[in-house]
């Protein structure tokens, strides 16, 4: 069995509008099948906040630090927020369960730093030991590593067990963590104190969040809508999985080229052209099955140096149907552009159990029937994980109740699964009935009054003539 890391849940506290919220992936014991989870709810209820929380976790694991504008993610009534994810991991046929937790503090100058971190895991064998590492920046004994069995501590490690040199390295790592807003536990020097198992666990977690998690936010869609760029999110891997390439590249949009007085062709660096050609070879395997007979092509016109003198290639980016040139791709619909933009990641999620794709507003600009078919296939036959937010209720007709969580009006319990749903029930109708009549553990819709809305429209219109 290959090494696999699955996210089983996310928990956030005091993150933006969410005082407390937990989302859970359905439990599938067979690693040959993936997990799909959709978040539904009214606007402003915290769905996008979950996507942003995962972005912050990825910043931490990548060692990027916190950007200057990220201080707003902490709830206005709190000075810190907590993020936690639980995981299940298979390593060399052993199965581990555990979690990573972090507390992020905003000081009086609105500077963000990590105040506490913890990693805990145990092998699923009941006789196994549980190991935990905990960092608390304002505690004199700020690093503790403990091993326990049946809730009884077997051994522990603290700063008093370290040499002067090790303590010096830890002090330096601690200062850097506070200065840069980076992780203390993930520091290479700190990990020298870990057991071999703990090192391996943390390394696989870092790989999962840093390199195998792909987050598509509404910024992607904004670039498409404004026709500035076509962001291409990709994951390419050879058949024996010895080589992989992933990330994001971009192709200039029609607006960007026309503003520069250019025609429909444009120049891109040679290496970007080679990489993008591979992406489109992959995308064209499935794109014509989703949008009948459509393929995308990069037509090489010739070599041309870039403005900085580096080698470039002038290309024409076209959409073709039945092998015939139709339009420059810039003139295709926003829905076609969005599908093309994310398709490489969905292919990766379908084939690789370690890939985790997060897409905010998956339904935007995509025909609902096609969307339902794609998500159903990914859930039933995919191997990776997909988390999405959506407002289109078509997906409730193709997914099971464990694949859907809905937001509530209770900021202390922001997400729930719908209850009392039978196999024969239409989940879409159950959800709409719960909005109108209640009957769930929490209120899932803050009621609006159509008469009040109508009167507000009238009042707003009248105010324009004062």
Phi, psi of 38 (to 5 degrees): -110, 140
Q: Which residues of 343-358 are buried (b: 16+ CB within 10 A; e: fewer)?
A: bbbbbbbbebbbbbbb
Q: Which of 405, 436, 438 is nearest to 46 (CA)?
A: 405
**Helices 334-351, 368-381: inter-axial angle, 10-degree rounding:** 10
Residue 30: the pLDDT is: 58
The helix (run of H) or strand (run of E) holding residue 461 is helix 450-463
Neighbours of 229 (CB within 10 A): 18
- Residues with pLDDT less than 50, the chain: 256, 259-261
Residue 261: the pLDDT is: 44
Residue 260: the pLDDT is: 45
Distances (CA, A) of 427 to 214, 395, 418: 28, 9, 9
Tokens of 98: 């555990």
CA atoms lying within 13 Å on the CB side of residue 458? 6
Residue 229: the pLDDT is: 80
8 A C-beta contact, residue 62 and residue 210: yes
Distances (CA, A) of 24 to 36, 96, 448: 10, 18, 29
Cα–Cα distance between 231 and 192 in angstroms, integer?
Answer: 39
Distance of CA 312 to the CA centre of its chain: 33
Q: Which residues of 56-86 are buried (b: 16+ CB within 10 A; e: fewer)?
A: bbbbbbbeebbeeebeebbbeeeebbbbbbb
Distance of CA 181 to the CA centre of its chain: 20
Distance of CA 373 to the CA centre of its chain: 22
The helix (run of H) or strand (run of E) holding residue 66 is none
Residue 117: the pLDDT is: 94
Tokens of 86: 């639980």
Cα–Cα distance between 94 and 31 in angstroms, integer?
Answer: 13
Q: Left if phi > 0, otherwise alpha if psi is -120 to 50, otherwise beta: which for 158?
A: beta
Distances (CA, A) of 72 to 45, 54, 65, 79, 274: 16, 15, 15, 11, 40
């Amino acid at each position: 069995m290959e090494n696999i890391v699955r996210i089983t849940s996310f928990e956030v506290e005091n993150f933006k509008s969410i005082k407390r919220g937990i989302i859970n992936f359905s439990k599938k014991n067979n690693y040959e099948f993936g997990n799909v989870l959709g978040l539904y709810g009214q606007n402003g209820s915290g769905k996008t906040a979950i996507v942003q929380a995962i972005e912050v976790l990825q910043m931490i694991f990548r060692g990027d630090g916190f950007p200057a504008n990220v201080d707003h993610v902490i709830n206005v009534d709190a000075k810190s927020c907590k993020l936690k994810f639980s995981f299940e991991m298979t390593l060399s046929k052993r199965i581990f369960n555990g979690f990573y937790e972090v507390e992020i503090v905003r000081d009086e100058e609105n500077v963000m730093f990590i105040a506490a971190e913890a990693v805990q895991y145990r092998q699923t064998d009941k006789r196994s030991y549980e190991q935990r590492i905990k960092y608390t920046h304002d505690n004199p004994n700020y690093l503790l590593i403990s091993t326990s069995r049946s809730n009884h501590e077997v051994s522990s490690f603290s700063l008093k067990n370290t040499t002067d040199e090790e303590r010096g390295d830890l002090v330096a790592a601690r200062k850097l963590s506070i200065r840069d807003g980076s992780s203390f536990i993930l520091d290479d020097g700190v990990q020298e104190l870990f057991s071999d198992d703990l090192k391996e666990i943390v390394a696989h977690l870092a790989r999962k969040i840093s390199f195998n998690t792909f987050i598509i936010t509404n910024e992607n869609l904004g670039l498409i809508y404004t026709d500035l760029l076509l962001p291409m999110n990709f994951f390419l891997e050879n058949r024996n999985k010895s080589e992989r390439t992933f990330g994001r590249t971009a192709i200039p949009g029609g607006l960007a080229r026309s503003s520069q007085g250019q025609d429909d062709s444009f120049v891109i660096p040679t290496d970007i052209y080679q990489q993008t050609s591979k992406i489109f070879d992959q995308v064209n395997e499935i794109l014509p099955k989703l949008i009948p007979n459509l393929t995308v092509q990069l037509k090489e016109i010739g070599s041309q140096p870039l403005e900085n003198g580096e080698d470039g290639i002038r290309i024409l980016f076209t959409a073709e149907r039945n092998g015939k040139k139709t339009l420059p791709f810039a003139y295709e619909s926003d829905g076609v552009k969005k599908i093309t933009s994310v398709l490489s990641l969905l292919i990766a999620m379908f084939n690789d159990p370690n890939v985790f794709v997060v897409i905010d507003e998956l339904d935007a600009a995509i025909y609902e029937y096609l969307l339902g078919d794609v998500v159903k296939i990914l859930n039933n036959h995919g191997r990776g994980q997909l988390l999405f937010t959506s407002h289109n209720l078509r997906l409730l007709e193709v997914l099971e109740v464990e694949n859907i969580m809905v937001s509530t009006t209770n900021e202390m319990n922001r997400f729930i699964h719908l209850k009392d749903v039978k196999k024969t029930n239409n989940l879409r109708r159950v959800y709409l009935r719960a909005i109108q009549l209640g009957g769930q553990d929490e209120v899932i819709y803050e009621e609006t009054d159509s008469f009040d809305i109508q009167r507000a429209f009238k009042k707003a219109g009248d105010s324009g003539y004062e």
